[in-house]
Each structure stands twice: as C-alpha cells, then as structure tokens.
Structure 1
Amino acid sequence: MYAWPASEVPALPGSGRDLRIHDTSTDGRVTLEPGPVARIYVCGITPYDATHMGHAATYNAFDLVQRVWLDTKRQVQYVQNVTDVDDPLLERARRDGEDWVGLAERETALFREDMTALRMLPPQHYIGAVEAIPGIVPLVERLRDAGAAYELEGDVYFSVAADPRFGEVSRLDARAMRLLSAERGGDPDRPGKKNPLDPILWLAARPGEPSWDGGTLGRGRPGWHIECVAIALDHLGMGFDVQGGGSDLAFPHHEMGASHAQVLTGEHPFARAYVHAGMVGLNGEKMSKSKGNLVFVSTLRHEGVDPAAIRLALLAHHYRSDWEWTDAVLQEAVERLGRWRAAVSRPDGPPSDAVVDEIREALADDLDAPAALLAVDRWAALQESVGGTDEGAPGVVSRAVDALLGVAL
C-alpha cells in the first residue's frame, strides 16, 4: 500500500530541542532521546468513512513529533497501518450494499487526499492489514505454541495472563478494562474464555465474510491488536521511540499490543513512550463514526476552506486536551492565517531569532502548539504595528511556520 506525497520541510538555521512528552504508561513527562533515526508507529484508520476532525487532530499531533525530530537533524522512520478488514468496515459495506474492498479503497484514497492537503508528513511504510496477514499468521502460531494463546470454537485468543506486565500501558484496574473492552471491540462476556479481557488473535472464517489461509490456524482473519504488532515488529523492531494514537487506543489496543509483542520477543518495552491525543467533540459528544456527529476534512475543503486554516484550528488546541469543534474555532483560524500571511508578505520585519526559538521551545515542551501560535501572533502584531528592518525576517518566520507547524504561508 502506498502513502501520500511528502511536502518539502524547509531547513532552518540552528537546531531544535529534544522532545519532552507525556507518556501514558508513566503518567509523566519523558525526554525522548532517539538515536540518529527516530522510530514512531501511529495507528491508522479503519477506512469505512471519511477523515473527520478527530482523525485530523490525532495525525496532526504526531506530525508535530516528526517535525520536532527533523529539526534536531535526525531521520525519522514512521510507520502507519490501515485496518482494511475489520468488523466496522464489513458492517458498513453490508449496510450500504457495497463491496467491502471498494469501500476500503475509496475511503483510504480520500484519507490520502486529506493528509496531503493538510501537509501531514507521510509514513515511510503504510501497511494494510490484508497485506500484513502473511506476517501475522506465524506470530499467532508462535503464541499458541508457546501456551500464550488458546483456541475457542476455532477462534484463537491471547491469554493476558501470559504477560506479567499486562496493565502497565493504560494503568487501569480490571473493572475499567472490562467496561472499555466491551465498548471498544472486545467480547468480555463470551463464554469459555479464560479471562474476560483476553483479545482475539485469529477469527475463524464466518459465512459471508472474507477469510485468508491461516496455515495451522485454519482459514480466517486477524484480530485488531496483532495486526499492528506484526507491522511494527517488522519495520521498527522492539523498543521503538513512540507508539501513538488517540486516547481511546490506550486500552485495549495499545495495552494488548504491548503484551503480544513482549510475550513474542521476551523483551520490554514494546515502545519507549505511549503518546495519546485527546478527543474532538461536536455538540457535547466525542466526534465518532458510530455516533455520526462528524465534521469531515474533505467537506470543509470542498466548501473552499483553506487547509492551512483547518490545520491552524487543530494547532490552537493542545494535543492532549479534549475540545469542541465549532464554527468560531474555524473562523478564528481563518483570521489568524490572514494576519500571518499579511505579516510575512512584507519585505522586512522585526528580528526572527526570538520567534523561531519560542516555537522550538514550545513544541519541545510536550508539543505545546498553542504557545507556538502565540509566539507567531506576537511577531505578526509587531510587524503590523511597528514593522522592522530585518530583510530576511519574514522569510525565516514563514519557513519556520512551515517546517515546524506544517502551515504554508
């Protein structure tokens, strides 16, 4: 599977700061100090509907992580999956009388268009669950043969008891885990499971549903968590720097994935930091496909909204915060974009060194994009009120906003 074209990231004078970021597994800040190549895995979409603001906010957060790393002169190895076969996709295809493959391909293509428009840096490896199946099957067989998985009516489940570190990612108690498991694709009430929290690794073939050769597992399709584990281990290995996604992935997805990988390899940790973005709401509820309360990136683009303004609307909120999308949020972003473009359009302006340093420091401090925006606001206000004599300043500020915030002025 291919990703989307990369926008050029301008080079800036000097060097960026190491990123200090909130790690869910420790509930505190950690300073990320990757080697020459920083490694990040971000969980991708299940392509049964268009990209909404919740998606965009999540991918914007991890785009900032990449940009901070690039500014420190590191390379970035970024991997993202596409869950192009799963229950929600199959259910939507049945509901609409549509072929599930065509639905997945269409929505994945639209996602690529949205990411390109928003200037999100693409992953080097963009892998679909279907294409990953040949690598998933041997992992499930290894877990089963090691006694860390068991069969139930042809399905194969992972035993969470096999990982003594289970629970370290989300830090939730058993009751909270069970409730979230039921809400987020698990089946805690299925009779015969050794533990209600045990997640599925391989789903035996069902009538009318797609299935693949699973070797000794029989025909079927993979569970959600093992999909990402197989892709991450294949392209990043253990101990990569950041596993990212929305806050609703901390449990069960990232918790289960960490346990799968740690039992498979005997190593710890799966990821050095687990980083989660907040939820975007609309009309008082989390924006989600299941609720249908969505604001789509593609709809705004087709209505003529500048993608740079959409991105500024996302950047105006700290990535870990839950916030509400409103017309006022978008209008404020449109007005900010206009002020910034007017400021950098002049031949000279106030000195740029301070504002570039402020943007860098803000982003290094747990991706504090709102503080970075305020730094540019202050520079633009000075440009409007008193001007300046630094002929290169507008160009430097424009390149810094592009390189570090992904906004083209």
Structure 2
Amino acid sequence: MNINIPRGTKDILPGEVEKWQIIEEKAKEVCARFNYKEIRTPMFEHTDLFQRGVGDSTDIVQKEMYTFTDRGDRSLTLRPEGTASVARSYVENKMFGFAQQPVKLYYIGQMFRYERPQAGRYRQFVQFGVEAMGSSDPTIDAEVMGLAMTVYQELGLKKLRLVLNTLGDSDSRKTHKEALINHFEPRIEEFCSDCQNRLKKNPLRILDCKKDRNHELMKSAPSILEHLNEESKAYFEQVKASLTEMGIEYVIDPTLVRGLDYYNHTAFEIMSEADGFGAITTLSGGGRYNGLVEDLGGPSTPSIGFAMSLERLLLALEAEGISLDTEEDLDCYLVTLGDEAKLKSVSILNQLRSAGIRSDKDYLDKKMKAQFKAADRLKSKFVAILGEEELQNGIVAVKNMETGEQKEISIENLSAFIKQGL
C-alpha cells in the first residue's frame, strides 16, 4: 500500500531546500540590522486565542483552521498565522515590562490553513513575520514596511508594488462601519451568505469578498478615507511622509482591506508585478493592530507587523528569472584503496570535518575511477588519495581538481594544507 503526502503539503528536497535556507538567512540578517529579535512560539495554541485574536468573522476562523480536541478535552488549533501567538506570548511573558521598548520581534515558522491548494498556496506553509509592539510612532510603521521591502530587494526582486491604506482609529472605523451598513443593507440579499453574516459584525470584510467582488455596490462603497477624523488623517500623512523620506515608493488603495479583525490605522500589501506571476499578486501584507494585546488581557499596546509567505517569494523570484546561488561545493573528497585505507579514512574524515572542511568519501566500495567521478559530481575542490603505499608512509596524495597539481602531504598536515588551499 502506497502512502502519499497529504493534499496541500509538499516535500522540500535537497537542491531546493538550499533556496529556503538562503531566504531564511537573508530575513534573519535583515532583522538583525533593524534590531529585531527572533521569537519561537508553539505550533498549536488554545483555539480561543485565534477566535479572539484573529476574529470570529474571518474566513480563517470560520473555514480554515485545523482544530482538534486533545485527551484532556481541550480545544487546540494548529496556528494559522503568527501575530496572535506573538501577542499571547507578549502578554504571558510580560514583555511590556522589558526595559527596551518597543519590543521588536520576528518569527519564521510553519502555519496551517485548510484552503484550496494552488500555486504558492498550501495547507502547510511557511511565514516570515515581524511584530513591533509598544509604539504608536508612525515612523515605525514605515520601518516595518521598509524591512519587508529590504528583504525582497536584497534577494533581487525589482517588480514590486507597495500598496497602502489606512483603516483609521476606532472612531473613524465606527463612522465608516455605519456608512457601510447603510450602503449594503438595502441590497444585502444579493450578496453571498458570508457577506450577509458580516453585515452587522464586520461590514469592512464585505469589501474583501472574493465571490461578490464585481458587484456594482462594491465600486460605490463608502471609502474609509472619507470618514477619517483629523487625528487619523494626521497619522496617515506622517506614515506617508516617512516612506517618502526613506525613498520607498507606494500607491494608495482605499479598497485595501486586511482580512483579520485586529487591524486599525496603517494597512499595506506588497505585490509582485512580474509577468506571469499569476492572478493572486500579493506577496505579503500587514498593518497596525493597536487593540490586540489589550483584547488578550494585556495593557494597551500599539503594535504593527507583517507576514510574508516564503512559498510566494520563491514564485516571485522564479517569475523574475532570479536564481539563488545554492552551490555548496565539497572541499575535499577522500578516495580510498584497500580495507586498511578504508578504516583509516574514518579518522582522516573526522580530522577534516573537525577543522571545518566540507568532506566526504565513498561508502559503496566503488573502484578508484568511480570514486573520482563521484568527486567530480560533488564538485570537490581537492581529492585526497589514500592507498596501501600512502598509508605505510603516513601520507596522502592530494590533487587540486582545478589546476590538476598533485602533492604528497602527511596525514597530520592534511587539514592545514586543504585550508590553506581553500
């Protein structure tokens, strides 16, 4: 009986996994420059966390979560996103008391959503995300967007578009919510059942509906920009000015709605404009969520963050024809002839590896010619040959595969010779 991989998941094999490592290292390196520290949260949490933190009216909570009951009859959920878990950890570990504020965190981890698999979208996927918690300064909004753009640009992406909007403060959202209800309510029966359910709970989510996106009322819906109070307008202007000061181009889209309930003020997405990237162009998205920490039992904590899909980043790199350098050539391949040489090779390999030299040898009793072919396939810079005669004299014959030059080196000095040659 064959057991296949579950739908919506994928194996990442050698040759491909190196691309992921390059991306992850770039993200970590950029975060270090921006002074963000890594946080690692559990892969599953109490279901209540996501119901409260993400929002009951969202597709994630209503349709996409992997939820199960454990042996203690507790409802647990595989994390569908990272922000709620980070906020929970922020409250539980009293990070609001840290001397250094705001608390600037990043994560790289697997998330789980039960949705229809398609290019760049899986049921198990990897997100890189950033959260800056404890500051209401508009310049940190620009910093977070700048961090995301830096990761993309330093990996080589050029065809990017930063789309920006504001959702306003709570008063502005309340006024906008009333305007949306008045706008949609007379004809709400023309919309899908999800939109009908969202009308009173969170009418802003109607604007994010995929089924009814072409309905005529969508185009004439009241814009949040028309309902901003003076404080919200001033905040948005400072965010835009900060982006301009950083030399980051952006476009304003008043219809941009983030899919989670905890957002307010700044909302943004970064899109790929590469030819052939596909209908879904979003690479990452985020925004400000000033009420989430308080909703989870912590103090009032203004915060902002984003999450990017590594799967979609890889697709964008492919669409722009950018190949990541994943070549990791071997430093030294050890060719052995005879049983005694084979036994001695164990300690020689240990010596090389302890010295930080990437090295390997044959484990299939191949002939000498086949061992050299293996060294070629692995693009080994040096080949060290150990036969009975070399073993008796305490030496190895070392060949530089680039120049063809060959020297006899004592076994004790092999590591130093290879390191000098590298």
Give the structure-1-normalised TM-score. Answer: 0.24
Give the structure-2-normalised TM-score. Answer: 0.24
- Higher-Rg structure is 2
- By percentage of residues, which structure has more strand? 2
Structure with higher RCO (Cα < 8 A, 6+ apart) = 1
